[in-house]
């Protein structure tokens, strides 16, 4: 059982509140400028009653979260937009309990009764350029977010259990990101090329066994796509997703890097109005740990033949290579992690349709 030194599993409480709010807005529209100013205001009286300890608490909270949005059209093709906001965090009534909650055989959660709230702010800037005559579209963005809370999440390892709780200590994190998208069409082979990419960096901290640990997390994604018409009867497409993550524990200089890759390719053949064939292939590469990685290849096919009398014959084959499991095992010190997922086995579906 759970030691009494950790806490009791009993809870008997109620948390009631009334939400009154107003959301005034100011909007300005001209030929080149659009502005939106929003000022939502909320008033919430809270009433908390713990029947086990016979404690009663009441608090009144007033929140204001203004935001400003600007859209400016420099030219008919070039525009810029900016967004800024300040947000007051509401009381998290889900934390208002004094006993323990158990989510699984190991993780315990201890609530925290506190009416102090934090706040956050965010800014973003986007630049967009469009040229439909040249089939060119692009967008680039930058953003920064900052968050503060008077409470810090904490984890304590007590025997066979992990106690998840909160500490009355200031907690903050900030992150920034850049992203972009480029799309270009070419007359050559009716080609369309699209490129998406983004970079995200977060600086924050976490408490473990009452020890504060600062960390920096970064993530980079790139996603190119291309479609081409090799002939009137043949279209091909290809898409790649590459993701790279890095986690740096600043106090210990411990660094973890992982990357994932997925690819999708398709080819469609239609030599006549009555015949259609499509082949699709997917490849997944996942880096579980720095020493463990896993690859998986899936393929599907779809064939359709139409008869002049209105009959249509269709044959679909999924999971051509008959992949049945996706599993891996990773070791970390004295711990072993094993995951296994079943994949639907090969399916062959033949169908006959009549259209009238």
b/e per residue, 33-46, with b = 16+ CB within 10 A? ebeeeeebebebeb
| Prediction pTM value | 0.80
In order along its 356 residues, the chain shows pLDDT tens digits of 677 778 888 899 999 999 999 999 999 999 999 999 999 999 999 999 999 888 899 999 999 999 999 999 999 999 999 999 999 988 988 889 988 998 888 889 998 888 989 999 999 999 999 999 999 999 999 999 999 999 888 888 888 888 988 888 888 889 999 999 999 999 988 999 999 999 999 999 888 777 888 899 999 999 999 999 999 899 999 999 999 999 998 877 788 888 999 999 999 999 988 999 999 999 999 888 777 788 999 999 999 999 888 899 999 999 999 988 887 776 655 456 677 778 888 999 999 998 87
Q: What's the rounded Cα separation, in Å, for the pair 84 and 144?
A: 10
The candidate with the shortest Cα–Cα distance to 283, out of 269, 293, 268, is: 293
């Amino acid at each position: 059982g759970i030691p009494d030194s950790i806490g009791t599993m009993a809870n008997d409480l109620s948390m009631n509140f009334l939400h009154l709010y107003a959301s005034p807005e100011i909007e300005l529209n001209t030929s080149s400028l659009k502005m939106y100013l929003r000022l939502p205001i909320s008033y919430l009286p809270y009433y908390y009653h713990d029947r086990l300890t016979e404690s009663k608490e009441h608090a009144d909270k007033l929140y204001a979260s203004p935001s400003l949005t600007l859209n400016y059209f420099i030219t008919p093709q070039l525009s810029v937009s900016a967004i800024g906001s300040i947000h007051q965090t509401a009381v998290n009534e889900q934390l208002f309990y004094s006993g323990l909650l158990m989510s699984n055989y190991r993780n315990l959660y201890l609530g925290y009764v506190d009416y102090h709230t934090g706040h956050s702010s965010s800014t973003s800037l986007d630049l967009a350029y469009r040229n439909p005559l040249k089939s060119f579209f692009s967008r680039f963005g930058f953003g920064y977010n900052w968050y503060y809370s008077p409470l810090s999440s904490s984890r304590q390892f007590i025997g066979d259990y992990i106690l998840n709780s909160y500490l009355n200590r200031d907690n903050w994190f900030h992150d920034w990101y850049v992203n972009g998208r480029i799309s270009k069409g070419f007359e050559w082979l009716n080609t369309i090329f699209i490129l998406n990419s983004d970079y995200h960096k977060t600086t924050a901290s976490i408490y473990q066994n009452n020890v504060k640990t600062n960390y920096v997390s970064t993530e980079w994604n790139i996603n190119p796509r291309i479609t081409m018409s090799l002939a009137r009867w043949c279209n091909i497409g290809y898409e790649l997703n590459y993701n790279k993550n890095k986690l740096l524990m600043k106090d210990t200089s411990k660094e973890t890097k992982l990357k994932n890759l997925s690819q999708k390719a398709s080819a469609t053949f239609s030599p006549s109005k009555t015949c259609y064939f499509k082949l699709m292939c997917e490849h997944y590469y996942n880096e579980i740990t720095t020493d463990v990685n896993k690859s998986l290849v899936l393929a599907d096919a779809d064939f359709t033949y139409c008869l002049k009398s209105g009959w249509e014959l269709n044959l679909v084959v999924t999971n051509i290579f008959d992949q049945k499991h996706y599993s891996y095992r990773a070791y970390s010190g004295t711990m072993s992690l094993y995951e296994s997922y079943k994949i639907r086995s090969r399916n062959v579906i033949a169908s006959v349709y009549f259209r009238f």
